[in-house]
Structure 1
Amino acid sequence: MATEQHVEEHRAPERGDPSGPTWWSHPDGAGARAAIFRCDDAASAASSDDGRIPSQRSRLGRLLRRRDQDGRRGSAAPPATPPRPPLRLRSARGLTMLMVVVVSASLLGAGFGVAVEGMVEGGRLNLREAPTSAADKESSHTAAVLQATLPGVVYLQVSAAGQSTSGTGVLLDANGNILTNNHVIAPDGHLGRVTVTFSTGQRHPAAIVGRDVGSDLAVLRVSGVSGLDPAVLGDSDDVQIGDPVMAIGAPYGLRGTVTSGIVSAVDRPIASGSLESSSGRSYLDAIQTDASINPGNSGGPLLDDSGAVIGINTAIRSSDPDSSDPFGSSATNGSIGLGFAIPIDQATAVAGQLIKAGKAAPPSIGVTLDREFQGGAKITSVQRAQPLRSGDIVTAADSVAVTDADDLIALVRGRKQGGETVLTVLRGGQSLPIAVKLVAAPADTSFTKA
């Protein structure tokens, strides 16, 4: 306590006193600064000429000189009970020690990093740039792909029947033709007024060129717009399960949203909508992906790792167990990792027909099917000269399993007109492979036909 008093009672020298400290911003005041930093002043350490109580700096100075003298005489014995330094001095020393520990730890970490990235040559440390990792290269590649692809993606705002909806589209060519989903431009079967927003943020009205309910595809066109940068279209026949993919769209109106995943399945037959609804029923021979697809992604591109469009994102599987249409285009549920895209080969074939004629004629095998039958697609009648018979049950198409009429219709729609598909047919208790030629069906035909 006496030591502490001495520190408090030490009076700071008057302004102008040459013996006073020149630094006056110490948090404990000028007196404390003098007690710490002027303790080796021999003149002050001897005594006080004005009769005041000797200051703590005088006592500390004598102790330091006595220790130096003992060291010079070779004495190793320390004072029996060395006086404790003032509390403020101990605090300062503790703070100094803490700072030393922190700085040492920092330097140790920095030194370790340097040791990893450099080499000691001739006593000198030469730093070298850290090698680029494979992950960094992949990230840079992905970013470059997206930067090149985004100008070919557009975002759609649709006003129809008093409601406003949003979707996405793919710019097909420099003429302003845009590919999207039919359910985007005709929500609930009602055609709407469409406004296109480009990647630059510029907006422009679009006209409807044509649409096809059965494939859930439509083509729009913007006129009087120059400098368009169309998307690069890929080949969906080359898509394999496990391929990395990215989806671009405007989920819930968030334009330019990018998600990634892999191809989960190909030739996935999906039927959405209802024959009784105003929007009709659509059939997809789909690419399945776990890349997140949400409402607003519809009509947008599914990209391969080179940035080429391999599919048009169209539907998601709803997690609602009570949903009458789990693959419905109007589902409000978010992604559960089950998204479906129309293969780009099928989509561009339909788009070409819509641009040329305003309507599309889907591929067909010229038969009518029993929609109620389960365990395959049961043929009820044959309209064209085909090696098929009424009563035949189709159980597979090109080795893809068929469980009902919807499956067969979807798989046939995914094939090319003029081509051929090999059906596995159950006839009279025997399983037979039968090659069937695909022809053009009448546009907007009854969807109980394949």
Structure 2
Amino acid sequence: MDATPSRSRVRRSLTPLAAGACAIALAGGCTGLGPAPAAAPAQQAAVSRAAGDLEDQYRAVIRDVLPSVVQIGAGDGLGSGIVYDDKGHIVTNAHVVGDEKTFDVSVATGEKVFKASLVSSYPEQDLAVVKLDDVPDGLRAAEFGDTDEVEVGQIVLAMGSPLGLSSSVTQGIVSAVGRTVSESSSGGGTGATLANMVQTSAAINPGNSGGALVNLDSEVIGIPTLAATDPQLGDSAAPGIGFAIPVSMVRTVADQIIKSGKVTDSGRAALDIRGRTVVDDEYRPAGVAIVSAQKGGAAEKAGLRAGDIITRIGDTRVTTITSLSEALADDDPGQKVGVTYRRGDASRTAQVTLGEI
């Protein structure tokens, strides 16, 4: 199963989705003793109170956070964004802004459309910051949480504008943390490989990208960015499998863009090469050929050169450009790794001190 962008730049002309239903049969032992006794009134009351308390929490979170989630019109596409501060900065996905420089921004109430301009886009992490040209009174910045406190099983809400339906909310849980996924470079994606992603069962549909993944403390813990697709279903969305950029990376990128107008310290490791995927005699991906090695860069310093074919990073096999990016995603600039490569008919290994994207 591949992870591909949730196509947040959804066209304004929308095709209704077909609805379907699935029945699940549960098999279990049967005692033949008839139906189980009804729950005692006290138990029923306790269950009702618990359900009511959870519902009240949902409503409180929505009241707290939804005013900070906006809809972004970028050319003929639509996506979502989060108000980052009271100065009018809004953080979103790079694939939401695309190549546009100016945007129409609608707040949750939808009463007025505001103009915004691009501050900077960072496709390598699929993040961007835009700024409102005029900051309205009462603009509310979202509260951002702590990535280290995100745990599997946490209840989360996804807020955004799926299919152009502004101020929509879906619910789910954190399904996993620390995922590394790669976007498609087609269909509006940036082609980035993204590390430490938060996997969630909350529905992420076209238009949700750039919005907010929120915990029950009304804190943003991630930006919904990708929905997984299933090739067996014709690359249609795989229900209940979506990914959000963790809040730690959101803060890192947004703070640098707001301060310097660009990302000055990515924190992402690199070999400092240009490469291409090569295939073997049976036309199967077999490694990454170095097209060029940056002068003074990590690969060149370690003795690698154009024409070498990288086949492993440490113990991880490398067959494509994407797998090379994924192998480096969890490493840090300045870290030493073993790089196995072919030069002619010989296999060699070099210790490379990684550079930075």
Is the TM-score greater than 0.5?
Answer: yes
Q: Distance in 2 between matches of 1:194 and 1:130?
A: 50
Q: Name whichever structure is richer in strand by fraction.
A: 2
Structure 1: where are the runs of 5+ without partners?
Answer: 1-111, 118-128, 327-332, 442-450
Q: In angstroms, what is the RMSD of aligned CA positions?
A: 3.9
What letter corresponds to residue 51 of structure 2 in structure 1?
A
Can you list the C-alpha shifts for 1:210-262, whole angstroms capped at 9, x where unaligned? Answer: 11222222111112322111111122244333333221111111122111222
**1:337 has 2:247 as partner:** no
Taking a change above 3 Å as real, the CA distance of residues 435 and 229 of structure 1, as seen in their structure-2 partners, is farther
Which of 187, 194, 208 is equivalent to 2:103?
A: 194
2:69 and 2:321 map into 1 onto residues whose CA distance is 35
Helix, strand or coil for the counterpart of 1:317? Answer: strand
Q: Does 1:355 align with 2:258?
A: yes
Aligned to 2:32: none
Relative to structure 1, is the Cα distance of residues 136 and 435 closer, same or farther in structure 2, using a 3 angstrom cutoff?
A: farther
Per the alignment, residue 234 of structure 1 pairs with: 145
Is 1:368 the counterpart of 2:291 in the alignment?
no
- SS of the aligned residue for 1:314 comes to strand
Partner residue, 1:210: 120
Q: Which residue of 1 aligns with 2:85?
A: 173
The share of aligned pairs that are identical, in percent, is: 31
Q: Offset at 1:182? A: 1.7
CA contact (8 A) 2:61 2:218 kept: yes
TM alignment of 1:156-167, pairs within 5 A: 156-158=72-74, 160=75, 164-167=76-79
Q: 1:58-113 CA distances to partner (integer Å, 9 max, x unpaired)?
A: xxxxxxxxxxxxxxxxxxxxxxxxxxxxxxxxxxxxxxxxxxxxxxxxxxxxxx99
Q: Return the alpha-carbon distance in structure 2 between the equivalents of residues 204 and 349 of structure 1.
A: 26
1:313 positional shift? 1.0
What is the deviation of 1:423? 4.7
Q: Quick one: distance in 2 between partners of 1:137 and 1:319?
A: 37
Secondary structure in 2 matching 1:351: helix
Instruction: Give me the whole-angstrom Cα distance separating, in 1, the residues matched to 2:338 and 2:151.
Output: 23
Taking the aligned partners of 1:289 and 1:209, their CA distance within structure 2 comes to 29
Q: CA deviation at 1:421?
A: 5.2
| Structure 1 segment 42-441 matched on structure 2, within 5 A | 116=41, 130-131=45-46, 133-158=49-74, 160=75, 164-186=76-98, 190-191=99-100, 193-202=102-111, 203-222=113-132, 223-274=134-185, 280-285=190-195, 286-319=197-230, 333-334=236-237, 336-361=239-264, 362=266, 363-368=268-273, 370-372=275-277, 381=293, 383-384=296-297, 390=304, 393-395=311-313, 404-410=320-326, 412=328, 423=337, 436=353, 439=356, 441=357
Q: 1:253 to 1:335 in 2, by over 3 A?
A: farther
Query: How far apart, in 2, do the equivalents of 1:150 and 1:294 lie?
Result: 17
Say which structure is richer in helix.
1
Local SS of the residue matching 2:142 = coil
Distance (Å, rounded) in 1 between the aligned partners of 2:287 and 2:153: 28
| CA displacement 1:372-427 (0-9 Å, x = unmatched) | 26578787857435895636654469xx99774324435756777xx665757558
- Cα–Cα, structure 1 residues 423 and 234, in superposed 2: closer, same or farther, change >3 Å? farther
Deviation string, structure 1 residues 317-361 (Cα, Å, up to 9, x no partner): 2345597xx6xxxxxx55622212112211222222322333335
Q: Which amino acid aligns with 1:195?
A: D
1:369 and 1:405 in contact (8 A); partners too: no
Distance 2:154 2:287 in 1: 30
Change (3 A) 1:402 1:409: same
TM-score normalised according to structure 1 size: 0.55
User: Match for 1:365: what amino acid?
Assistant: A
Distance in 1, matches of 2:314 and 2:50, equals 42
Structure label with greater radius of gyration = 1
Verify the 8 A CA contact 2:142 2:219 in the aligned structure 1.
yes
Letter in 2 for 1:258: V
